[in-house]
Structure 1
Amino acid sequence: MRKASAVVAVALLVTLAGCGGLGGDTAGGLFGAPSPSIESVDAPESLVHDERATVEATVRWEGLASDGGGGSGGSASSNATLDPVRVAVRVGDATLLSENRSVPANGTMTVAAAVDAAALEPGEHELRVTVGEATATRTLVVEEARPATFTVSDVEAPEGVAYGENLSVAATVTNAGDLAGNQTVRIRYGTGASANRTVALDGGAEARVSVTFTDVRLDGGDYPVVVTTANRTRERTVALDHPSPYRKTTLGLYVDDDAVDRNVSEVVAAATGYWERTDERYLGYPVAYERVDDADDADVVLRFDRVDRCGVEGNDTRYFGCADLLVDEPRTPMTATVDPRISDAEMNATIIHELGHVQGLEHGEEPAGLMNATSTLATHRPLKVHVRADDGAVTGPVEDEVAAALDHFAARDDIAGSDGFSWKFVDSAREAHVQITYDERGDVCFADGGGSCTVEGEYYGQQDVRLEELDEAVVAWHVGASLAPVLLEEVPPELTGDAERREREAWPQ
């Protein structure tokens, strides 16, 4: 707090108007010495905290007046017999001016003093002008200094931004207060990223702040770009364009699995995960799936049910699944149906295939194997194979023979409908695309002798290659002969029934 007795800087200006003198007898006339009167006080009603101004008062002595034409040398100082007067200007307890003045010859005096609001406390003050016995007062208000207040204006941002592009935002921040200050300016867009900038400004000053958000990835729609200080917030709208037909990345997935006799959550997660990993490569836009509990909240509904018909094809076709094909705009919701009787391996491939349709892919598009209209052993990568024996565990030599046959196909470059082949052993028929059953007795293929044949496996649409009453030395050949018609574009002679025993034992060397 400033002391009330602080002395304010004073500037004094005295103007003597006129140059004529008065007769001595007038000054000391019948009515005695003339007295001053303050005719006017020119002063501001209020000052801001750091403003300076001049207080000016006009004083007259009645009975003293200029003769207008100048007087003789003696009469020019006829008021010299008057005593000097005390002149003072005060604001509250602060004295702006205090001195003795001679009474001017023409009877008019101007008193001026400078007032500096910075030397005064905020609030109302009495301004008092005193000349001799004459006094005039006014009220002077010193306004309190406004604290630093940061406002925002001129927010600049593009009207629209494409998915993955950069978003640049700029705004003007102004300190509308009187005092200097610093604040943190926050710039954000939608529910996405935000950036902070620290800005220091004197009173009345302004600055331009800006930020560039890189690789903007939000769902399509209009988003607010918001610039905020501690005192003000301004925003504008930016349209974000998403490349997905759904105009967003995350799709709500409702799974109706009441018809499945086992838990297939991991199978579904693996299928949706495939598209989440390969979305940009095959779809050209990002996708993610999130399970929802209500079909009304879903973008895609995955149902498990038997599929007897799909599209315009006849009923003699065996279907593993069927789905809505996305064309232009998605339905609400899009639906995919998968047969619950197939193995987990086939189910995974089928879900991937049907989700490809609800994402806009047609048959024959990449990924070619998974989006083929017909599912074959050649389209799976890897082909999952379960080897079992009817009387217990499979022996090492039998498993080695099966592996040798599969490795032979993996090394070939003429796989039907695919640009390559790979395989892996799995522990159960549920996990497999194909079963291979080794039966030392066996009567499924031939009632009167050993051999191999392909029959229905444990799951709908699954093949079971049965090897019955065979020497271990020819297991590889029988596996190769059983798989060649579905894996190769043309079956080589050595894998036909015409092959001799010696050739069968030597194959695939």
Structure 2
Amino acid sequence: MTARRSPLAPTLALAVLLVLAGCATPFVPTPTSPDSTTAGTNADTTPATDGVDDGSGGGTSNVTANPWGSDPVVVAVRNEGSRDRTFAPLVREAADFWEANDDRYLGFSVDYEVRPDAEEPDLVVAFTDDVPDCGDVSDAVGCAPLLTDPRQVDRPETVWVQTSLGNESTTLVAKHELGHTLGRTHADAPTSVMRAKSVIYTEPQPNATERAFPWDDTDFTVHVDAANASDPDGVVRQTDRALTYYEDDPPGMPDNLSFERVGSPGPDTEVRIRFGATSSCASSTGSCVESYGTDPDGDGAIETYTRIDVRLVGIDTDAVGWHVGYWLAHALGAEADAEKPPPFRDASYRERRGAWWE
């Protein structure tokens, strides 16, 4: 019987918590369950965006006058990061937002002149690979001073934005940080810009299926759900055959792989061997894989795997090791059968049940 491929299951995108002064602390949400879509496709995932509204919510700031005064605010744009990107149009978009909504949200008029190479700017929006320390927050994606009074302004003020974000997220962070320089806090409108929590996406990244090795490291923990197998001891022995095979550096596979079998699965267990069909892995006899991971660029596809479930349905005990080995090769970057180690290329019924690991 031919092993078949299941859909991948992307998780929520990398989210960040925007806090006072524009700093941000990232966290990765728990992976979602795989969607039951057509085999071989990636299921779309809609990011959670806690508390998004139409932009009219939030409190009213105590700021009653423009802390920058009545003259246009000259904004310079500096790219101090390693990425060759042009950020000025995104800063201009963020500035346009506040100019178009100044009466509604600020209670005073604001005008910006975005001149990337201005020699004596009022404000510098600096793009950097690593945002400097921003209060007590580490791993920030943006940082800006909260300015509510002209006496606080020390020209040129600097707003920091991380270079690795996608265009939409870069614009959102720039809007958020400019809002702080106009006296807006996280309690102020518009909530969709100034709220304390937002979903942030990175620049496009290679998908897991495009990477030579789609994991963060080469150390894996493995749980075998032997209690639900017809031959618990046999499937454990067979799984160990597959794990040992990969630890011995087979051709075409990453070096220095290590597998530790655990008695019960935990949140960090990367490989789970399970028995019985599911809605996304339905078959009367066969095997498939359910893949989990992160989607930091928000394209609906996994960029890095965090877990796989190898699911076996009606497989003879003496063929379990082969099926586990087949899907391990798939998860380790060998998408096509021709890329897999020799035992997993066009193996016959008998070969799958023989000593393929020798």
Per the shorter chain, which TM-score range?
A: 0.3 to 0.5
* TM-score when normalising by structure 2: 0.39
Which structure features the higher share of helix residues? 2
Q: Which has more radius of gyration? A: 1
Greater relative contact order structure (CA < 8 Å, 6+ sep): 2
* TM-score when normalising by structure 1: 0.29
